[in-house]
Structure 1
């Protein structure tokens, strides 16, 4: 499949989706929106892919929406574009919307934030499961300084990650946040020198791809994204149900055997 505004490649059981408008700091476009969603679905359906990395080409991750697009945007587009077919009718509707579909992808998504991450670029970074950033990266919600509001579910997701007070600070002020502060507040998981970011991110991704059971990652990811909608009792009951399934699985036997035999595991691909 060919793409216009992104690059897509698979190697070593890792799918890499690269926002590819480096001359515009990977500013977000409707084409990019469609292509990222399609690429995520492609990676989700590929049995050879166990981990997904989302990053940007050049100096930035995504500098936000393309200003030329914003100048001509139709206000009715926001409502119309959210009416999209869901990935899975059996999954929560919360994860079936225009941008909040990342949790419905049954594979871990790593945001490799190589530079400026702003506005809708920050929205997409937040929907990744973990975020590794260059120590030179800068972050901003941007919306309030453009006369906009907290868009595309960021008002729900951002407090989940950095807490209520930090989320209000970042959304109300739309100030620029340096990488070290982003790490302190939990906005990103890890920081690396820019020239080490790719190496370290892919080392982590390869470890997941080679040494962790895909079925375990799929269930754990679903558990964590379901928890905000559950009581402790509900989460425990669900965990007990999944535990019984995992104990009867070939992957559990393989996980124990590989540990005892001191060899790499050979987990199933589903």
Structure 2
């Protein structure tokens, strides 16, 4: 893969491949990529870069080392004696200063698909961030956990919105109330993960999936479909159907439909145009 840039000390690494995929890698392996202001700022900058680049059609998010994102960075273990003082100050602090300027659900508003390659520990805000991605793959043995109740916290940053939509109410309540950790094999059974892959094969499999989307799916279609899926959850079926009829008429005026049908009939790979500023 080519196009890698960014020094190794950057909190989030960015790589643009020739196949139209941007790979964003959390780069704080010494703390299992626990979320902090450095990762937040790097993540937003990398997401904005990928979203605005017409050559990028799919975004992949992963972590370096043994963790995907092991929750919020709480400091070194030796700082336990100062937790009370820190939490008192935190209660008076703007949350944006602690976790960043954007909530995790902003990922659902992006026009491009975001695929999580969960390579290891995926806990707390890292768990929420992964769930806000559109599709998730996981390495065998990766640990997941909505551990908020075990830290005296509540269901943070939209996890109580996304989790029941992926698993159903009963499973969501089990995971949130117990705060238990569970492995990738259970995550796939619960519908949180599409596939579990051997750790050494995770990125290869994720890139196969991402590159298939980039090569064969209309960027404009994917952008609109994302908007439909997340928006239709708040609509009844009649409203969703009525909106889809409007969107179909809009799609008919784009070159993507002609190219999609023509390439199918000609038995060749489609050549869909990049997203325009007005798509979706």
Same fold flag (TM > 0.5): yes
Contact preservation (8 Å) 2:123, 2:146:
yes
Q: Distance in 2 between matches of 1:45 and 1:140?
A: 32
Give the corresponding residue for 2:16: 10
1:215 to 220, 230, 252: 220
Give the corresponding residue for 2:128: 123
Deviation per CA, 1:164-223: give whole Å up to 9, x if none: 111111111111111111111101111111111111100000000001000000000100
Give the corresponding residue for 1:170: 175
Residues 1:76 and 2:92 are matched in the alignment: yes
Contact preservation (8 Å) 1:81, 1:98:
no
1:24 to 23, 31, 43: 31
- Residue 81 of structure 1: how far off its partner (Å): 5.2
Change (3 A) 1:268 1:18: same
- Residue 108 of structure 1: how far off its partner (Å): 0.2
Q: Distance in 1 between matches of 2:168 and 2:58?
A: 27
Deviation per CA, 1:12-70: give whole Å up to 9, x if none: 21011100011111111112112212211111111010000000001111111112189
Change (3 A) 1:2 1:199: closer
Change (3 A) 1:155 1:7: same
Residues 1:109 and 2:114 are matched in the alignment: yes
SS of residue paired to 2:35: coil
Q: Distance in 1 between matches of 2:93 and 2:258?
A: 51
- When normalised by structure 1's length, the TM-score is 0.91
Residues 1:253 and 2:258 are matched in the alignment: yes
- Residue 77 of structure 1: how far off its partner (Å): 3.1
- Residue 228 of structure 1: how far off its partner (Å): 1.6
Q: Distance in 2 between matches of 1:21 and 1:192?
A: 23
- Residue 98 of structure 1: how far off its partner (Å): 2.1
Q: Distance in 2 between matches of 1:255 and 1:75?
A: 53
Change (3 A) 1:80 1:182: closer
Contact preservation (8 Å) 1:41, 1:105:
no
1:269 to 266, 269, 274: 274
Give the corresponding residue for 1:93: none
Q: Number of aligned pairs?
A: 259
Give the corresponding residue for 1:240: 245
Change (3 A) 1:228 1:77: farther
Deviation per CA, 1:103-144: give whole Å up to 9, x if none: 111000000001111111101001000100011111011111
Q: Distance in 2 between matches of 1:98 and 1:76?
A: 19
**Gapped regions of structure 2 (runs ≥ 5):** 276-280
Structure 1 segments, 4+ long, off by >4 Å, are 78-82
Q: Distance in 2 between matches of 1:27 and 1:79?
A: 16
1:48 to 38, 44, 55: 55
- Residue 78 of structure 1: how far off its partner (Å): 4.7
Contact preservation (8 Å) 2:37, 2:97:
no
1:36 to 43, 51, 66: 43
